[in-house]
Structure 1
Amino acid sequence: MTKENNMHHHNKLLTRLFPLVGLLSLAACGKDEKPKAISPAEVENPVKESELTTVTITADAEKRLGIKTVVVKTDNVQATREVGGEIQAVPGQAVTIVAPVQGTLRGGAGLTAGQRVREGQTLYSLVPLPAERDLLTLNQGTAQARTQLQVAQARLGRAEELLADRAGSVRARDDARADVALAQRALADARARQGAANGNTGGGQALPIKAPLSGVVQRVTVTSGSVVTANTVLVELAALNKVWVRVPLFVGDLRRLGQGQAVTVRPLDGGASRQGRPVEAPLLGATAGTGTADVFFEIDNADEAFRPGERVAVDVTLTGAAGGTGNAAGTAALTIPAAALLYDATGGQWVYVRTAPRQYTRQRVEVQRAVGDQIVISRGVKAGAEVVTDGAAELFGTEFGGSH
């Protein structure tokens, strides 16, 4: 092959290779240069939450707001469980009131179950009926007296007609008039006895039925105007000087309930709490579906602040381990006063921490539970930090423009 032929073959080979090299170069460039992702939003100069929630006030403002702080500390907190309870009357403390004699009841129209009554309060008035009479006999007596009067009046009319015809005597007419008067008297007496049976005594003597104790009406079995016999049950009352609290407790917590351990009973409306003493009573009820069993505690209720059927909150203190007895064991936890905890509009939980003189930083916290007037914090603040109690709400308003 000549030199010219070699050059021609070389140029032809390069012509075929150049397009392939170009394609490989473009593929390599496309692999290295990916399209840049477009962000839906961008935040310029992002700032930490703590830098946005620091409030600096003057010494006069700090005094005017009455700011006070406490140091977050680690306390030995008892394990507690808040459960719902129901107030019940103490079994055996109920009184049943019965009618002493047969009679008709008056009064007591507004007496209903759940109503409170005082010792000595008149519940009913009982109009006695004669012991030898009943309602059927009295009705029959009235009908008989009415018939006798009609007969006597007919005889009187006949006697007057005979006297007018000069066929009768004046004496016969007078005797007929006397019989009519006697029949009228008998009918009036029969009607009076029937009226007494219906309670229409016209001022006759009535027996007052009074409450023997102060308590609540459990059951009413009669109404005003009823005719009752002796020993008929009228009302059932329950004493309220002491009441029981029924607490459905999880079966797994029963073994952690210390022997003789009292509980704290709190009304749902935020009233004063009271101590409940355990009652030596069997488990009177259990719910298989929820895995709970009923335990009972007794509280003093001389002022009748609690009433049967009322729902309450019960704080139960538990021991540290299942099967334990005695005092409840405690665990170390960070606590702050309840007054230091704040909530925002979305339910977020915050405290203000003094980070420098007259400088307070709002920090988010996570609450584990409440124990009395203390709040157990799981995270958000550290031991030794100073949190604001008095004036925390005012700082919150100052930060968001609610106060000046």
Structure 2
Amino acid sequence: MSASNVFVVSRRFALLSLLSCVACGKAEKPKAVSPSEVKNPVKESQLTTVAITAEAEKRLGIRTAVIKADNVQATREVGGEIQAVPGQAVTIVAPVQGTLRGGAGITAGQRVRQGQTLYSLVPLPPERDLLTLDQGTAQARTQLQVAQARLARAEDLLADRAGSVRARDDARADVALAQRALADARARQGAMSGNTGGGQALPIKAPLSGVVQRVTVAPGSVVTTNTVLLELAALNKVWVRVPLFVGDLRRLSPGQTVTVRPLNGGAARPAKPVDAPTIGGTAGTATADVFYEIDNADEAFRPGERVAVDVALGSGDSAAGGPGATSATTRALTIPAAALLYDASGGQWVYVHTAPQQYTRHRVEVQRTVGDQVVISRGVKAGAEVVTDGAAELFGTEFGGSH
């Protein structure tokens, strides 16, 4: 074998050895195992199309509305606090010192009507008479004993025909007066020891219809003059305190109303501005407190409650005495509020009409509410048709709650 052939064989052998080592190294490396695996993944949009028959569509009363891009009033959502109207919140105090009766069922949050008796107060004697209570009782007891002795002698004389009927009757009257005086003296003593039986009580009545805000005394307590018993607030009208950024005050039109919404999702209602001076808010926040009044005959709002307030803003100068702010609008997608649905976790959805008798559920993001329209920031496009009437029925059909 020539030298050149030996060299070729040697190169082939070396190359085969190298490939064998590389293959061995790959075979020894363990294969990674995934801890989880999703089989047949499907996008959310492919699971949310509901196909129904024309008959079912008619039976469910399906109606749609076109998503529009409208000019929407610029608004600012801020937090507010419900307050009782000044002058419509009263503090009831004890007119004189005494012992309280009744009031066991009065608690904070309870509704009361005007003229309703809240407590009965058994007055105590003035301070200067407290030291003579025992002496007065003893004196009344002695007077009764003397009157009873006179009555006994008058009856004995009348029985022996030595006395008169008039003298006996006068003695009986003296006994009755002495008994009354002793009873009053004992009642005054009993009031000091907490026993109010038999004493004359003063009724303490509600001066207006409203809700009890705070109770500060317990039934049976001995109170002094002007002791605070409870606080009562009329709630047929309430104020909402709104801290507004001072830069937004110039964008408010004179007489402009705002919309107040409970944080628990209850119905919103308008509030009109109060003719009261704007006062400074919290130091360092560059805000000022503005007050609005709400009709609250159903007592849906309570003092101290936190609410959301939608304030419409203009673009001009509406300072005091100025011409008023020019309405400011922005371009946004709007849908009827009836088209919006919520799932169990708070997700917001609408059904879009994508084909005849086919409706696809789309997740949306709500920016705010303007009247009966909802401003959508994303999730749908202008021109699409969303279901208004029958949206809840489609939701139930999709998840098995409707047949």
> TM-score when scaled to structure 2?
0.68
1:334 Cα deviation from its structure 2 partner:
1.0
Count of residue pairs the alignment pairs up: 372
CA contact (8 A) 2:141 2:182 kept: no
Q: Which residue of 2 aligns with 1:295?
A: 289
Q: Confirm whether residue 286 of structure 1 aligns to residue 282 of structure 2.
A: yes
Distance in 2 (CA, whole Å) between partners of 1:145 and 1:47 is 98
| Structure 2 residue identity aligned to 1:110 | G
Question: Which residue matches 2:340?
Answer: 341
Deviation for aligned residue 1:184? 8.4
Aligned to 1:191: 182
Matches within 5 A, 1:67-216: 67-97=62-92, 105-126=100-121, 134-144=129-139, 188=179, 191-197=182-188, 198=191, 199-201=196-198, 207-216=202-211
Residue identity matched to 1:286: T
**Residue equivalent to 1:255:** 247
- SS of the counterpart of 1:256? helix
User: Distance in 1 between the 2:216 and 2:365 partners?
Assistant: 55
Shift of 1:30: 11
CA distance in 1, matches of 2:273, 2:127: 54
Query: Is 1:264 aligned with 2:267?
Result: no
Q: What are the within-5 Å matches in structure 2 for residues 54-65 of structure 1?
A: 54-65=49-60
CA distance in structure 1 between the partners assigned to 2:225 and 2:343 by the alignment: 67
Contact 1:93–1:239 at 8 Å: present in 2 too? yes
* Matched letter for residue 282 of structure 2: A
| Distance (whole Å) between structure 2 residues aligned to residue 30 and residue 324 of structure 1 | 84
Structure 1 length normalisation: TM-score? 0.68
Distance in 1 between residues matched to 2:8 and 2:70, nearest whole Å: 86
The whole-number CA distance in structure 2 between the counterparts of 1:344 and 1:127 is 59
Residues 317 and 328 in structure 1, CA contact (< 8 A), matched pair in contact too: no
Shift of 1:27: 8.9
Where does structure 1 lack aligned partners over 5 or more consecutive residues? 1-6, 154-180
Aligned to 1:331: 330
Between the two proteins, what is the percent identity of the paired residues? Answer: 64
- Aligned match of 1:394: 393
Contact residue 80 and residue 315 of structure 1 kept, 8 A: no
What secondary structure sits across from 2:62 in the alignment?
coil
Q: Which has the larger displacement, 126-135 or 89-98?
A: 126-135
Structure 1 residue 48, shift from structure 2 partner: 6.2
What residue number does 2:152 align with?
none
- Matches of 1:398 and 1:188, distance apart in 2: 84
- Higher gyration radius (CA): 1
Q: Output one character per residue of 1:297-325: Cα deviation in whole Å (capped at 9) or x when no partner.
A: 33244625146435243222253779987
Q: Secondary structure at the match of 2:134?
A: helix
TM-superposed CA distance for 1:188, in Å, is 4.2
2:309 pairs with 1:277: no
In the alignment, the residues of structure 1 paired with residue 344 and residue 218 of structure 2 have an alpha-carbon distance, to the nearest angstrom, of 54
Deviation, structure 1 residue 140: 2.5
Q: 1:18 to 1:381 in 2, by over 3 A?
A: same
Is structure 2 residue 307 aligned with structure 1 residue 313? yes
Measure how far apart 1:335 and its partner are: 1.5
Matched residue, 2:153: none
> What CA distance in whole angstroms lies between the structure 2 residues aligned with 1:52 and 1:95?
60
**Structure 1 counterpart of 2:388, one-letter code:** T
- Structure-2 separation of matches of 1:193 and 1:392: 76
CA contact (8 A) 2:121 2:204 kept: yes
Distance 1:328 1:139, change over 3 A: farther
